[in-house]
Amino acid sequence: MDAIGKCSGTITILVFTGFGFSFAFIWMMSRFARGFAYTAITLLLLMLFGGGAVLIATAGSADTEEAKNGGVATGAIFLIFGACFLAGLCCYRKSLETAIAIIDAAADFLMDTKRIIIVSILYSFVSFFCFLIWIIA
C-alpha cells in the first residue's frame, strides 16, 4: 500500500478537524474579539515583565560570573521590551481599539457569509490543479 493510501484516513480527519476549528475560531472572534485581544496583551506583558523579573531574581544563583551577568542582562532586556510595549499601548490605544473593531467586523462578516470560506477553499484546489498542469507540461 502506498503512503497516500496509508495516510488518507488521517488526512481526512485533519481536514475536517481544521474546518471545524476554523469555524469555531471565527465564531469566537465574532463574539469575543475584544476579550481575546486583551487576554493576548495581558499574557504578553506578563511574559515580558515576569520573565525579566524571574531572570534577574535567579541570576544570583548561577555558577559563573558570566552566567550571572547574562541572566541580569537578559532580564533587563525583557523589562525594557515590556516597558516599550506598555508605552506603545498607552500611546496607540485608539489605534488598538480600531484594530480590534476591524477584526470584530471581519469576523462578523465571515460568520454571516460562510460561502466566502468555501470559495477560497475551492480557489485553492483550482490553483493547485493549475499548478499540477504546469508541472506536468
d(C-alpha 103, C-alpha 29), whole Å: 8
Average pLDDT, the chain: 88
Query: Does the pLDDT of residue 53 top 80, yes or no?
Result: yes
Which strand (E) or helix (H) includes residue 32?
helix 3-58
Give the model's pLDDT for residue 116.
Answer: 75
Question: Would you give the DSSP letter of residue 61?
Answer: G
Query: Does the pLDDT of residue 47 top 70, yes or no?
Result: yes
- Per-residue pLDDT band for 126 (boundaries 50, 70, 90) equals confident
Query: Does the pLDDT of residue 94 top 90, yes or no?
Result: yes
Under 8 Å CB-to-CB from 95, ≥6 apart: which residues? none
d(C-alpha 137, C-alpha 134), whole Å: 5
Q: Three cell numbers at 45?
A: 506583558
Query: Does the pLDDT of residue 77 top 90, yes or no?
Result: yes
Compute CA distances 80 → 13, 32, 96, whole Å.
45, 30, 21
State whether residue 101 is helix, strand or coil.
helix
Q: What is the largest CA-CA distance in the chain?
A: 65
User: CB atoms < 10 A from the CB of 77, how many?
Assistant: 14
- Per-residue pLDDT band for 1 (boundaries 50, 70, 90) equals low
Provide the residue type at 39 as one letter.
Answer: T
The full set of domain ranges for the chain reads 3-112
